[in-house]
């Protein structure tokens, strides 16, 4: 199947594609969450057993103390922190790979152009109107007041550290996105409608990264302050919002597909890094006896 035919197939079956993508991401997040909750302690125990077997060999290395010290630090950080750090690194690598493929001569860049052209032909006015409303949930005119309200609520409850982290993480992510746009200077796709207005550079998508940062961090804050039965619904709602806002930018033809992927990768790296820091801080305050697989 050629790039043009694949793009046309996706454009024609717009709702089905969006549903499959959303469901797939929700399922992946649930499997990761359930696996961590159920097998996190077992993974730590297996790693400890492996280290014990390797320790005699490690003593022959030039810096055995450094190896042992690194393991002790890893054990103190816990599964959540290590997993968040791994996700942050993986997302950064993903962002670099995506950025390397957005050129017009690259396969991803050609798919971007083909998908945007197919959507301009097949997306109906009704679909564009619906996604124009959805995309507002990732606009700065909505996210900034939402961020301010959440910050005020945390300050009112005297959660000074969380409030400061929330403000710095959301504002810093927005500023960094602007900086990345300036570095790449990618032009936006052409569109033939007035359902959405967008200016400035295109890569990475600010709506995608902004929604990932705000809704992702907000979901994390709700999870660590709520009962376990609310964890999955909160994560599912945040994931749905992130997916819908991001792909609304593609459907409205104000961003290329890779712009959204880049925004997701940047947002995931940023959120994971901040969650790692918050989890490390929480473990330090709550003591070394806190179970590394329970963030509630």
CB 235 within 8 A of CB 33: yes
Query: Which tokens go with 6?
Result: 């694949």
Query: Which tokens go with 295?
Result: 């963030």
The values of phi and psi at residue 248, to 5°, are: -65, -30
Catalytic: which of 39, 68, 122, 255? 255
User: Which regions of the chain are under pLDDT 70?
Assistant: 1, 33, 36-37, 40-41, 43-45, 47-48, 51-52, 54-80, 285-296
pLDDT confidence of residue 58 = 54
Rounded (5°) CA angle 23-26-30: 135
The values of phi and psi at residue 192, to 5°, are: -115, 25
Q: How many CB atoms lie within 10 A of CB 174?
A: 19
d(CA 215, CA 221): 10
d(CA 245, CA 223): 22
39 in active site? no
Sequential DSSP letters for 178-200: HHHHHHH-PPPPP-S-SS----S
pLDDT confidence of residue 19 = 82
d(CA 294, CA 296): 6
Beta strands per DSSP E along 130-278: none
Catalytic: which of 68, 122, 207, 231? 207
Q: Which residues contact 48 (CB under 8 A, 6 or more apart)?
A: 75
pLDDT confidence of residue 105 = 83
Q: Max CA-CA distance within the chain? A: 69
The values of phi and psi at residue 288, to 5°, are: -70, -15
pLDDT confidence of residue 152 = 93
Q: How many CB atoms lie within 10 A of CB 62?
A: 6
d(CA 9, CA 231): 36
Q: Residue 18 in 3-state DSSP?
A: helix
């Amino acid at each position: 199947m050629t790039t043009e035919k694949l793009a046309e197939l996706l454009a024609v079956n717009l709702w089905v594609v969006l549903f499959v993508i959303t469901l797939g991401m929700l399922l992946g997040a649930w499997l990761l969450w359930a696996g961590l909750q159920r097998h996190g302690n077992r993974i730590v125990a297996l790693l400890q057993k492996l280290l014990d077997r390797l320790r005699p060999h490690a003593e022959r290395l030039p810096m055995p103390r450094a190896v042992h010290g690194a393991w002790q630090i890893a054990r103190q950080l816990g599964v959540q922190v290590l997993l968040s750090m791994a996700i942050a690194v993986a997302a950064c690598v993903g962002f670099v790979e995506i950025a390397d493929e957005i050129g017009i001569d690259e396969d991803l860049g050609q798919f971007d152009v083909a998908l945007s052209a197919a959507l301009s032909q097949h997306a109906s006015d009704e679909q564009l109107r619906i996604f124009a409303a959805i995309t507002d949930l990732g606009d700065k005119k909505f996210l900034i007041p939402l961020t301010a309200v959440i910050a005020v609520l945390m300050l009112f409850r005297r959660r000074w550290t969380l409030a400061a982290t929330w403000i710095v993480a959301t504002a810093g992510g927005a500023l960094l996105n602007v900086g990345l746009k300036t570095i790449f200077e990618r032009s936006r796709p052409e569109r033939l409608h007035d359902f959405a207005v967008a200016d400035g550079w295109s890569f990475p998508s600010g709506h995608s990264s902004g929604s990932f940062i705000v809704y992702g961090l907000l979901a994390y804050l709700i999870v660590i302050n709520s009962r376990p039965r609310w964890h999955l619904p909160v994560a599912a709602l945040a994931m749905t919002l992130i997916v819908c806002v991001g792909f609304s930018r593609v459907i409205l033809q104000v961003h290329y597909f890779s712009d959204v992927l880049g925004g997701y990768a940047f947002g995931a790296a940023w959120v994971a890094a901040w969650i790692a820091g918050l989890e490390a801080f929480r473990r330090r305050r709550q003591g070394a006896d806190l179970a590394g697989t329970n963030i509630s």
